[in-house]
Structure 1
Amino acid sequence: MKWIDLPPVWLALALVMTWWIAQLQPMWLAFGHPALDLAGGLLVGGGLVLMLLAFVEMRKQRTTVIPHMEADHLVTTGIFRRSRNPIYLGDVLVLAGLALRWDATVALVLVPLFIGTITQRFIIPEENRLRRKFRADFARYCQKTRRWL
């Protein structure tokens, strides 16, 4: 069951629930406005770009993208100058964007639940590992760069 404890699996579950809500929500809760489609598309696109930039930066630094593994390097360059967790931020943008694209605005309630789950299951343990391994460097990085934005 270790495979289920990976962020993409949690994102997939949240997306399935979002899609399910979109299929089941009453028509009177649907907005069906083109602006929501545009906003949703921009959020999804922005999320995918964030993820791609983070993956590229981590590959350049030759460190792992797998959350439960020990990082070889503390990545503070590129997109990591703006956010300590650009991949997770990208996940959140994709989730919110697809909720809008699928006209499932009720499902936006899943976004803070997803953020809380990701923070507790992945971000805090990752930060604890980085804090132990990179000590003062990680402390300085945390002072300069916010967890999400």
Structure 2
Amino acid sequence: MNAYRSKPLKFPWPPVLYGLAFVSAFLLGEIAGLPVPRVHSAFAWILGTALTVAAVSLDIWAIKTLLESRTTILAHRATAHLVTRGPFRYTRNPIYLGYTLATIAFGLMTANSWFYVAAVVAAIVTTFVAIRREERHLQARFGCDFESYCRRTRRWI
């Protein structure tokens, strides 16, 4: 199979990676008893709630944009079109950014700082395991159009 028809991933890793990050942060904060600074405040909870709303809204906007563009929302399927509108005008990975923001938000709402660490680790691992492969797939499918998109739109924010 040529690169044009190949799939970016064989398995949809990002949701699994963020799920593992979430569980790890919870275990480190609650079960392992490792010392971690905890900030309990109404402001942190309100900020976390607002960040959760923003993260979910970003994910919904991105999924809606992909569906309207008649391309897949699944990372392990070949894309049909290069989507550069909607949230993709601002970030090349709005769904993964939404996952990261939601992880941080949960840390704020639960006063568990391990979620901040988990969000950073999940973002780094997602970049190496999924995003770079997806970018190679998009480069093979869309060539110069994808290169131009990369020059004007950041990978994360």
Describe the shift of the 1:31–1:3 C-alpha distance in structure 2 as closer, same or farther (beyond 3 A).
farther
Describe the shift of the 1:138–1:28 C-alpha distance in structure 2 as closer, same or farther (beyond 3 A).
closer
Which of the two has greater helix per residue? 1
Contact 2:22 2:115 in 1 (8 A): no
- Mapped pair 1:16 → 2:15: no
- Mapped pair 1:52 → 2:98: no
- Mapped pair 1:129 → 2:125: no
Higher relative contact order (CA 8 A, sep 6+): 2
Match of residue 79 from structure 1 = 87
| Distance in structure 2 (CA, Å) of the matches to 1:23 and 1:74 | 42
| Distance in structure 1 (CA, Å) of the matches to 2:132 and 2:97 | 15
Structure 1 residue 20: Cα displacement = 2.1
Describe the shift of the 1:140–1:23 C-alpha distance in structure 2 as closer, same or farther (beyond 3 A).
same
With normalisation by structure 2, the TM-score equals 0.86
Counting aligned pairs with the same residue, the percent is 30
SS for the counterpart of 2:77 is coil
Gaps of 5+ in 1: none
| Distance in structure 2 (CA, Å) of the matches to 1:57 and 1:107 | 29
- Mapped pair 1:147 → 2:148: no
With normalisation by structure 1, the TM-score equals 0.91
Contact 2:12 2:76 in 1 (8 A): no
Gaps of 5+ in 2: 1-8
- Mapped pair 1:118 → 2:104: no
Moved more, 4-13 or 129-138: 4-13
1:20 maps to amino acid = L
Match of residue 42 from structure 1 = 50
- Mapped pair 1:7 → 2:14: yes
Structure 1 residue 119: Cα displacement = 0.3
- Mapped pair 1:31 → 2:52: no
| Distance in structure 2 (CA, Å) of the matches to 1:95 and 1:34 | 18
